[in-house]
Chains A and B, each alone.
Chain A
Amino acid sequence: MSAAHDDHHHGPAKGLSRWLFTTNHKDIGTLYLWFSFAMFLLGGSFAMVIRAELFQPGLQLVEPNFFNQMTTMHGLIMVFGAVMPAFVGLANWMIPMMIGAPDMALPRMNNWSFWILPFAFAMLSSTLLMDAGAPNFGWTFYAPLSTTYAPETVTFFIFAVHIMGASSIMGAINIIATVLNMRAPGMTLMKMPLFVWTWLITAYLLIAVMPVLAGVVTMMLFDIHFGTSFFNAAGGGDPVLFQHVFWFFGHPEVYIMILPAFGVISAIIPTFARKRLFGYDSMVYATASIAFLSFIVWAHHMFTVGMPIAGELFFMYATMLIAVPTGVKVFNWVATMFRGSMTFETPMLFAIAFVVLFTMGGFTGLMLAITPADFQYHDTYFVVAHFHYVLVPGAVFSIMAATYYWLPKWTGHMYDERLGKLHFWLSFIGVNILFFPQHFLGLAGMPRRIPDYALQFADFNWISSIGGFLFGASQLILLVVVIKCIKGGKKATAQVWDGAKGLEWTVASPAPYHTFTTPPNPDLIEAP
């Protein structure tokens, strides 16, 4: 057998080919995480342009058309390039180690699902250099602004979205196959760490809605190039249909970006509280309920399109219901901290900030669910503040918490705790100066996606911009911490954190290139 030879070397290949041809879940996880960080900086630099232009009333730095390109590209890159790949990277690294599997179930597809991503984002970003300019119709790309009235580069955007969707679907299939088939003996479903559970459910969401996104961009493609009229009223089509299809993808997408974050936080808080997670079973059921509800709330993004009142009421009630399982999660985290024995290393700081600030985003989400009030909030900075609270100190903070938490396991070194704490505090202060005033801006009547604004909005805008610059600059500290940690530092033990539980902490630090080639002892597997 030709494969016999390969059985002898267990280390990684050398040089570039290691990364290009790798089928190792840890290498692919690393690739995803670095890619995500690069996209985070790119999307962040677009946000800096936006905040700089909005620093003062009047047009100073960019033309309105370029401003619209910035808001669009910022949203697309952060959602599809930064947050989603980061969670896939964490899944790749951690899921096999958490369930005692030697690798992902479909390693070659794993390689492919990562390596098509850089092409998708290169194609999308290259539109910035083209004459027609980048997409300028918002990350939600409502038709007909994104079809009949779009710049020619919209076709590049459509194909980029197709590739991203294919990548996500492959990643999701891989995770489902891994979790369902490759768990070590003794690792029953109800013993899986919550990160695995939340990702399993997220993967089903991805498989359900990514094809819907692909469908809606394909309909756009046909409208633009092949003379159909799905979304063109003049040809008998319906522009509102676009929004229904888009948000049928878009709302579950929101949970795709937050469920794995719940998993991360449910791992970190028990570790640093030195106490078992409170209400494990209810956490699993709450996650499943949120995932189910995410399919029947999409039109709460569309309360002003003129739906019949029965529709408005249905989507209001269904949306309000999401507060129940989300509340259960927050209560469980607080109950885990209650009467624990806490320490506050960087991962725990990020996790606590997550609980507080995500909950604030949840509160404004509940307010937005109230249809008549939404008529005032809709498409204002109140919405911008809401979803940034959920996504930045929510999803992004959880990714940072996860990075600090597992970095010693990945590199074999402890990171610089002083720098980590500095990064946390600057991010925490920056993010609140950045987004909190935006609630006031929205309530006072400032619409979102405008390059210039009336004078009464001036004060909160410059405050918000200062917060933005502070938050943006602070992220470079993370880069320094990670590079320092890769290069050296105090040797990490296998356990790393004295309160950490789970199979990933039973292997050495750094985790060997191949782990669990033989399944772990079933007695080591305890309920989380």
Chain B
Amino acid sequence: MLPKAKLWLALTVAALTMLSTNLQAAWDLNMPQGVTQISRDTYDLHMQILWWCVAIGVVVFSVMIWSIVNHRKSKGAVPATFHESTKVEIVWTIIPFIILILMAVPATRVLTHAYDASESDLDIQITGYQWRWEYRYLRQNADEDEVSFFSNLSTSRDEINNTMPKQENYLLDVDNPLVIPINKKVRFLVTSNDVIHAWWVPDFAVKKDAIPGFINETWTIVEEPGVYRGQCAELCGIDHGFMPIVVHALPQDEYDAWYAGRQEQARAARAQANNVVTRDQAMATGEAIYNRTCVACHQAGGVGLAPAFPALAGSSVVNGDLTANIELVLHGVPGTAMASYARMLSPVELSGIVTYIRNSFGNSTGDLVQPADVNALLEAQ
């Protein structure tokens, strides 16, 4: 075989293999119709305007192609001499204007509907962090147990780094999904703790920027139970591509059961807050937290990413005063990517992570931090 032909064969085989491995992936071509009134209205609006554009395109490009085919010099075409017509200009100014009005009317109607966030059944505060979401269910009365939790990417770093096969919901899976009841008006109060993020679930047609210092309002009424996935839509730093959104929409009774379970967990966590942990427990908790929360910046092996993200291996803070180290994790370092973890992690998790970093990556302080130590510092505020 000729070398060139061989190359083409190899390329074709490679392309075909790639095609077949991806066959199970859907060739999604269009916007999802979604599961809310707003998402269906938005889809209709999108299609309507798309067809207007197609129609205009067909007319304009037909004239153009017809001219290109027929009015060419090689066919002996003689150029006409006309070069202006006020009448024609007026016509093709007014017709597009009328089409625009036809587009603007339904768009205004859908927008007005989407902006009506009044009279909600349930309010959830969504806070963006680098690089996770926090969901806090606003209580009806103050003596209820509060349900609030963080939602982190649960796809493993091994899948991302291609050392493990990628699972079906690669990059679109979280440890704690947001859970909401169907057929209820759920209002989202969206804000951020650091940079601007955007909370987006295509199936709800809800996208709202999460802006530090501001609270944005949006809402949805999901009509079908199911699992809906989205992603952060506003560039928010290194792991912008790794902070997905997963929403479970449940029938009311299942939702109520889930909510009661969460309240129970909150009570249990409070009770556990002063438990004594063993070194092995603390190290295991810490390692899990590290790989989920810290590794993006401080990197595997605690080597950091100079100069923005300091190494933990051999760090003077991590090998220095224990209280100062805990305080730093609790409050973060203002003006840097180091966030405050006082609320993001539980006392058990905080004791684990500090124990872990002080006894890993070649650090060997031998310290074992107890949840009670963390609580003492938290209460001292």
Contacts and interface: CB of A to CB of B under 8 A. Distances in A.
B78 interface: yes
B64 A337 contact: yes
B202 to A, nearest CB: 5
A372 B205 contact: yes
Contacts of A142: 195-196, 234-235
A328 B93 CA distance: 7
A342 B73 contact: yes
A276 B336 CA distance: 61
B61 A340 contact: no
A313 interface: yes
A380 B207 CA distance: 11
A287 B161 CA distance: 50
Interface stretch (B164-172, B256-264, B273-281, B345-353): B164-172
A108 to B, nearest CB: 40
Contacts of B110: 372
Nearest to A238: B213
A57 B74 CA distance: 50
A234 B28 contact: no
Interface string A248-259: 000000000000
Contacts of A380: 233
A276 B100 CA distance: 30
Interface string A359-388: 110010011001111011011100000000
Interface in A332-352: 334-335, 337-344, 352
B28 A373 contact: no
Which of the four size classes fits the interface of chain B?
35 or more
A328 B335 CA distance: 50
A273 B111 CA distance: 45
A145 B235 contact: yes
A373 B49 contact: yes
Given A275-B80, A375-B114, A375-B205, A317 B29 contact: no
B32 to A, nearest CB: 7
B208 interface: yes
A465 B280 CA distance: 47
B71 A339 contact: yes
A239 interface: yes
Contacts of A454: 169-172
A278 interface: yes
Contacts of B172: 454
A372 B42 contact: yes
A72 to B, nearest CB: 9
Contacts of B216: 305-306
A137 B235 contact: yes
A144 B213 CA distance: 11
A488 interface: no
B71 A367 contact: no
Interface in A53-83: 57-60, 63-65, 68
A194 to B, nearest CB: 13
A181 interface: no
Given A321-B100, A335-B88, A373-B46, A138 B235 contact: yes
Interface stretch (A37-45, A200-208, A419-427, A456-464): A456-464
Contact of B83 (A57, A138, A276, A458): A276
Interface string A269-289: 000011111111110000000
Contact of B209 (A59, A138, A306): A306
B72 interface: yes
Contacts of A133: 308
A304 interface: yes
Nearest to B218: A306
Given A282-B89, A447-B231, A375 B161 contact: no
B71 A342 contact: yes
A320 interface: yes
Contact of A338 (B71, B235, B241): B71
Contact of B211 (A239, A321, A370): A239
B142 interface: no
A449 interface: yes
A306 B103 contact: no
A456 B233 contact: no
Interface string A493-518: 00000000000000000000000000
B112 interface: yes
Contacts of B89: 279, 282, 328
A118 interface: no
A334 B30 CA distance: 30
Contact of B31 (A136, A281, A376): A376
A57 B170 contact: yes
Nearest to A338: B67
A233 B92 CA distance: 48
B22 A304 contact: no
Nearest to A371: B111
Tell me which of A338, A376, A462 has the highest count of chain B C-beta atoms within 10 A of its own C-beta: A376
A455 interface: yes
A131 B307 contact: yes
A280 B82 CA distance: 12
B284 interface: no
A413 B180 CA distance: 71
Nearest to B115: A309
Contacts of B63: 334, 338
A519 interface: no
Interface stretch (A10-18, A96-104, A171-179, A437-445): A437-445
Interface in B207-251: 207-209, 211-214, 216-217, 230-242
B45 to A, nearest CB: 5
Nearest to B72: A342
Interface string B3-36: 0000000000000001100100111111110000
Contact of A275 (B29, B49, B68, B83): B83
Interface stretch (A84-92, A148-156, A290-298, A400-408): A148-156
B107 A459 contact: no
Contacts of A276: 81, 83
B377 interface: no
A238 B202 CA distance: 28
B310 to A, nearest CB: 12
Tell me which of A59, A133, A320 has the highest count of chain B C-beta atoms within 10 A of its own C-beta: A320
B376 interface: no
B84 interface: yes
Given A306-B217, A324-B93, A454-B171, A352 B68 contact: yes
Interface of A: 57-60, 63-65, 68, 131-133, 136-138, 142, 144-145, 148-149, 151-152, 233-234, 237-240, 273-282, 304-306, 309, 312-313, 316-317, 320-321, 323-324, 327-328, 330-331, 334-335, 337-344, 352, 355-356, 359-360, 363, 366-367, 370-373, 375-376, 378-380, 440, 443-445, 447-456, 458-460, 462
16 contacts: A58-B160, A64-B239, A64-B242, A145-B236, A309-B115, A312-B115, A320-B103, A338-B63, A342-B71, A342-B73, A367-B46, A367-B53, A371-B107, A372-B110, A379-B234, A459-B19
Given A131-B306, A316-B104, A372-B45, 11 more contacts: A63-B305, A68-B235, A145-B237, A238-B214, A338-B63, A367-B53, A372-B110, A372-B111, A372-B114, A456-B28, A459-B27
Name the 3 nearest CB pairs between A and B, nearest first: A233-B213, A450-B241, A444-B28
